[in-house]
Structure 1
């Protein structure tokens, strides 16, 4: 078990990088506490697997250091870092039984037989594999084989960290929730540092205590799932997290009023004032659909309804605000005549961004 310090860490796959554009992983400084559950979240190519491979020792960073409990491990090989890693696709010994596969990492380290048996039974039970412990791995489904991979990563209690690289890719959708819950329970009981790479926001937000959102090789926000949802620090975070994502509209701002659509557009009242926005910056207004509710025409901000999607427990309206597409909730009992409607916005949940970055307003809550 270890805390992990990323000290001015950056990596470029090409030689002689000249600037940020040449780095697959732009400079990051962070300390991940011992026993934390972290998710590296972002689209393909954002740098999350590069960062995971630096932590595991598969990649040596171009710049900076990585420390486990203050010990510099930057140039140490994987086997010297005392970590376990679970990959996207199953890595198992087909000719061994499930029991032998799970026991293998412990047997290699000379753990007493009775301790091995107890630990294997515990992990197999947590992953719902007790019934197949004595079956050969080659006769199992891809789902079951990946559960063996997960179990082999979890069976050691002495590791500095367990790294998961999109481990549920081959798992059937109906089993994913069960396995995420099992991993979360194991994390709570084992007090291990776990780092989970995924492009799936549901996996990240249900597994992790702290989510690291990455975009274009950089960390754009680190926070709890609630912080990422309620106060996105960057428009990318707002877009990427949530379904649908945050509405982001080009705007001009004067004090506590935002104008969308220019002179012939609409005015939106803000909870905070913005008196010193950067000159020449791209200014945008962000509000999540959960804080934007459709109403009959004449109430709130005028909008045009393009369609309404019934999602079962909720309805989402696809609308236009001064010609710009957006999404909003349709409250139960609201009925519309034609395509004209109003939009009720929660001013406390409206954010202003300059060149994608959140701007702190003055006054208000």
Structure 2
């Protein structure tokens, strides 16, 4: 288990170029011992670059990586005492499932009795116990990834477990179960876990701290609730939540930030300058009735999602989405919903003001 510190960490794959493109811009961050973290963002945002630097697969262009205060920047992967699980299963097809799970412990000359106990425990947790004597070559893609994950979890002495999109190839129901298992193992053994994913649902249900990245930068880090209720940028608002946060152009008028297209307004915070202003609100924060402002329009589309539906509503040149009870609206209906004043957020130049 380890406290991981990133000290002014940055990386360019062409650092000597006249105008280097930074895959990872300078980052200062601390991940506490025993925490669960998710690096979340679109392809090319720098999340895998960061994970590869932490693991030792990549040497950063600048900055340091520290484990429990010890500088490990120059250490190779084998000397960092970590476990890694990748998107593509890493298993030995010439071995049985049991031999695959035991391999990291055998390499460290762990006592046979301890190996049997650990292999049995991990196999039971992952549902692999009935398959322990099977050859790995004939396993399904799901089971191969379970074995690969088990190899990463079988050690009790690791500083951290780094998970690079390992759930991508697994079916949705199994993903849910695996996230639960990973959290149980984290809580039981206190192992620091870092997950890389582009799937917000994976990140929000796995991690206590989600790190949202874009264009090589950390744009916000916080609890899932923080990111959902107070997105620091419009990018976070779009990336977190399904459907995404609604944004509408606004302007500063007489001490108010107004969005004429939807008839919404909020008091401007002191000192707010003009510029690119927007008002943002979540589809989940709209209600059929209640306190706050009224916003409405014509229902143009409906997505059925069980007990709830997502309604797309248009008014003049603006469109927004609302999460409402199933059957509340039909396409073509006129809809009016309530939005509490404190759920209306102000953004300037893409960043949260209030």
* TM-score, reference length from structure 2: 0.94
Q: Give the corresponding residue for 1:345.
A: 339
The answer on whether the counterparts of 1:6 and 1:65 sit within 8 Å (CA) in structure 2 is yes
Cα gap change, 1:255/1:185 in structure 2, threshold over 3 Å: closer, same or farther? farther
Return the offset for 1:128.
Answer: 0.7
Q: Give the corresponding residue for 1:306.
A: 300
SS at match of 1:14: coil
Q: Give the corresponding residue for 2:202.
A: 203
CA distance in 1, matches of 2:316, 2:346: 18
Q: Give the corresponding residue for 2:9.
A: 9
1:58-97 pair list within 5 angstroms: 58-97=57-96
List structure 1 segments (4+ residues) > 4 angstroms apart after TM superposition. Answer: 331-339
CA distance in 1, matches of 2:271, 2:296: 28
Return the offset for 1:41.
Answer: 0.6
CA distance in 1, matches of 2:209, 2:2: 16
SS at match of 1:316: strand
CA distance in 2, matches of 1:159, 1:201: 27
Q: Give the corresponding residue for 1:274.
A: 269
SS at match of 2:73: coil
The answer on whether the counterparts of 1:259 and 1:266 sit within 8 Å (CA) in structure 2 is no
Return the offset for 1:309.
Answer: 2.5
Return the offset for 1:321.
Answer: 4.0
Cα gap change, 1:151/1:338 in structure 2, threshold over 3 Å: closer, same or farther? closer
The answer on whether the counterparts of 1:305 and 1:318 sit within 8 Å (CA) in structure 2 is yes
Q: Give the corresponding residue for 1:136.
A: 135
Cα gap change, 1:274/1:187 in structure 2, threshold over 3 Å: closer, same or farther? same
1:1-365 pair list within 5 angstroms: 1-16=1-16, 22-254=21-253, 257-261=256-260, 265-270=261-266, 273-279=268-274, 281-293=275-287, 300-331=294-325, 334=328, 339-360=333-354
Return the offset for 1:330.
Answer: 3.0
SS at match of 1:164: strand
| Structure 2 runs not aligned, ≥5 long | none
CA distance in 1, matches of 2:86, 2:180: 19
Return the offset for 1:349.
Answer: 1.1
SS at match of 1:174: helix
Deviations 1:20-79 (A, max 9, x none): x71111111000000000000111111100000000011111111111111111111111
Number of positions where the alignment pairs a residue of Structure 1 with one of Structure 2: 351
CA distance in 2, matches of 1:120, 1:302: 58
The answer on whether the counterparts of 2:257 and 2:268 sit within 8 Å (CA) in structure 1 is no
Cα gap change, 1:152/1:336 in structure 2, threshold over 3 Å: closer, same or farther? closer
SS at match of 1:34: coil
Cα gap change, 1:10/1:321 in structure 2, threshold over 3 Å: closer, same or farther? farther
| Structure 1 runs not aligned, ≥5 long | 361-365
CA distance in 1, matches of 2:140, 2:147: 11
SS at match of 1:196: strand
Q: Give the corresponding residue for 1:363.
A: none
Return the offset for 1:132.
Answer: 0.6
Return the offset for 1:220.
Answer: 0.7
